[in-house]
């Protein structure tokens, strides 16, 4: 029987020096250090080094585990366990001096998320969760909001930055949410958005065009904090299906219905 709590605590210890490395290099990245990976997708030596540090530590923690990692440091898949890693979610924020970016790491056993951690570096907040263990912020239990009306909610989203095929549908959805909620925020880090849903700062989050490493840890946080996570169809294909809807159960039905009315 795997002890997910112990694994999560060990993950936090492995991540501490990585968070310090990223924090210490905030002022040191120059324009010449920045590479364009894909259209509107930036990367620097900080992302790559952070991922290498994480992979090295995690290989020792679960030697048989494989990796699904954004920067491709390690691509070997495991039969039973796989770490899903984003060493720096919010790279564009980081490179522009905007203090919202996070390390996101999750462990998948077979096809189930069992451990997750989002370390938001700007405020030095470490969010953790493990299967059937609840969700925590710096060691204190957290839970999703309990608003019962959409009009009282604050939502988060991410803007499309490469997949513009559904842009107009997304803008129509945004327009509808502007009128039916207290507002919509766009922080630039999906991992942070999901962590904020888990601790009740946001009521819900939606975005399309995402990768597994953007959402894996955050999705587990929301679920373990008592929330709901699906794709836009209301099914469970949010990890690899490139779209996610996450929020408190009390408003999830009208929230998802609004998404489905616009995002075809």
Per-residue pLDDT reduced to its tens digit, 72-106: 888 889 999 999 999 999 988 988 889 999 999 99
The CATH number given to 4-142 is 3.30.540.10
Q: How far apart are CA 64 and CA 80, in angstroms?
A: 8
Reported confidence tier of residue 13, pLDDT bands at 50, 70, 90: very high
Query: Domain limits of the chain?
Result: 4-142, 150-262
CATH of 150-262, one of 3.40.50.970, 3.40.50.300, 3.40.190.80, 3.40.640.10: 3.40.190.80
Question: Roughly what angle, to the nearest 10 degrees, separates helices 190-198 and 212-224?
Answer: 0
User: What pTM was computed for the model?
Assistant: 0.95
**CB 65 within 8 Å of CB 58:** yes
pLDDT of 2 reads 83
Q: How far apart are CA 90 and CA 120, in angstroms?
A: 10
């Amino acid at each position: 029987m795997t002890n997910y709590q112990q694994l999560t605590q060990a993950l936090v210890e492995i991540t501490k020096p990585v968070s310090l490395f990223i924090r210490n290099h905030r002022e040191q990245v120059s324009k010449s250090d920045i590479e364009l990976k894909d259209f509107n997708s930036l990367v620097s030596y900080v992302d790559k080094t952070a991922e290498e540090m994480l992979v090295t530590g995690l290989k020792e923690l679960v030697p048989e585990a494989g990796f699904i990692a954004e920067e491709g440091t390690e691509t070997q898949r495991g039969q039973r366990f796989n770490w899903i890693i984003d060493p720096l979610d919010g790279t564009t924020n980081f490179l522009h001096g905007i203090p919202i970016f996070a390390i996101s790491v999750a462990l998948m056993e077979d096809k189930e998320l069992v451990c997750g951690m989002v370390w938001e570096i700007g405020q030095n907040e470490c969010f953790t969760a493990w299967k059937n263990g609840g969700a925590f912020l710096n060691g204190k239990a957290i839970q999703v909001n309990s608003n019962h009306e959409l009009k009282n909610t604050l939502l988060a989203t991410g803007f499309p930055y490469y997949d513009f095929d559904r842009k107009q549908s997304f803008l129509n959805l945004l327009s509808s949410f502007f009128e039916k909620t207290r507002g919509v925020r766009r922080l630039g880090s999906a991992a942070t958005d999901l962590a904020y849903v888990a601790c009740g700062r946001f009521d819900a989050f939606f975005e399309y065009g995402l990768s597994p490493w953007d959402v894996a840890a955050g999705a587990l946080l929301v679920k373990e904090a008592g929330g709901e996570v699906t794709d836009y169809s209301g099914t469970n294909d949010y990890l690899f299906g490139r779209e996610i809807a996450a929020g408190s159960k009390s408003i999830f039905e009208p929230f998802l219905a609004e998404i489905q009315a616009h995002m075809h």
